[in-house]
Amino acid sequence: MTVTIEDVAQRAGVSTATVSRVIAGKPYVRDALRIRVLDAIQELNYRPSRVARSLRVQRSSIIGLIISDIQNPFFTSVVRAVEDVAQQRGFSVMLCNSDESTDKEAAYIDLLLDEQVSGLIVSPTSTNTDIYRRLVEANVPVVAIDRRVENTPMDMVVGDNVQAAYEVVSHLIANGYRRIAAVLGVPDASTGAERYEGYERALNAHGIEVDPELVRQGMPRSESGHRSTLQLLQLQNPPDAIFTGNNLLTIGALRAIDEMGLRVPEDVAFAAFDEMEWMFLVKPALTVVAQPTYAMGKKAAELLLQRIADPSRPPQEVLLQPTIKVHESSRAK
């Protein structure tokens, strides 16, 4: 039923080897034959089997992309970038959603290896895991995105979370806020840990002690942001400002503030990590740390393709600088 390379060879009156050479654009084929083969391909509407090819060369032209939350616009933008780059370079993307589960992540890695993917881009659910060490040792091209992997030298594309959190919290302090709460993701993922570190450093640098009561860490999802913020706002001594650790936490936090009927920044100031398209709707405008999401995805894909092309190149860590956009939600007290 399906037309194979054999059919093409027969039609063109050559061997399959020649057809293969023509398709691969290899030298050592007479123009006359090349044309006959191309014609035959056209006439038969031949499309090579990627599966057969993958089996033979022991590598598919698929790259695996494992992200921790497909419903998070941050990752969506990353996916889009990776897909764009991949497609342009003749690769396709197999997308997996680890859903913040380390087990799922590991299972997907195995699955993708079983599919003989050329490489992997992953936003690791946890910083400390030996999965990546094993991958790197087995010479599997892999790059981490958004979140760092520790103790394993590998390609990474991350934002400068410590610095960005430091700056934005310092800004809150400069504007007169002292009881600054942090609604963060769990520190298993490096983003959670680093954004906390930036927060802590900023407080310390300005002589403010960290009040553990004001630090909430949970799943980087809106429900968790909602719950944490409600708790914070109901404290005896509630915060005068809230710093949220990612876009979904921000949504939850804003909902909590909304439900409590509080005003920003009069009752509580606000500064958030991650920018989103609809944020212009929030009044007053939110002070945010904007990450170059598409650029991160693009860079990760490029790093991966480079490593696939040259597996021995030294691992590279790309640190992208977020932009801090100051608006009214954090204006001076």
User: Residue 93 forms beta bridges with which residues?
Assistant: 63
Residue 263 lies near DNA (rule: CB under 7 A): no
* Binding track, positions 40-59, relative to a copy of itself; x by CB under 8 A: -------xxxxxx-xx----
Task: Assess contact for 242 and 267: CB atoms under 8 A.
Answer: no
CA torsion through residues 219, 283, 233, 206, sign? positive
- 257-316: contacts with a copy of itself (CB under 8 A): 258, 276-278, 280-283
Q: Binding residue for a copy of itself (CB under 8 A) from 18, 77, 118, 152?
A: 77
Residues 67 and 77: their CA atoms lie apart, in Å, by 11
Handedness of CA 217, 218, 222, 225 (dihedral sign): negative
From 128-136, 158-166, 198-206, 248-256, give the range in contact with a copy of itself by CB under 8 A: 248-256
Span 26-55, contacts to DNA by CB under 7 A: 27-30, 32-33, 46-49, 52-53, 55
At 66, phi and psi to the nearest 5?
A: -115, 115
Sign of CA dihedral 72, 75, 79, 85: positive
Residue 118 binds DNA, judged by CB under 7 A:
no
97 binds a copy of itself (CB under 8 A): yes
Binding at 21: pick from a copy of itself, DNA, none (beta carbon under 5-8 Å per type): DNA
Are residues 183 and 253 in contact, defined by beta-carbon separation less than 8 angstroms? yes
Which stretches of the chain bind a copy of itself, using CB under 8 A? Answer: 47-52, 54-55, 60, 62, 70-71, 73, 76-77, 79-80, 83, 92-97, 110-111, 113-116, 222, 251, 254-255, 258, 276-278, 280-283
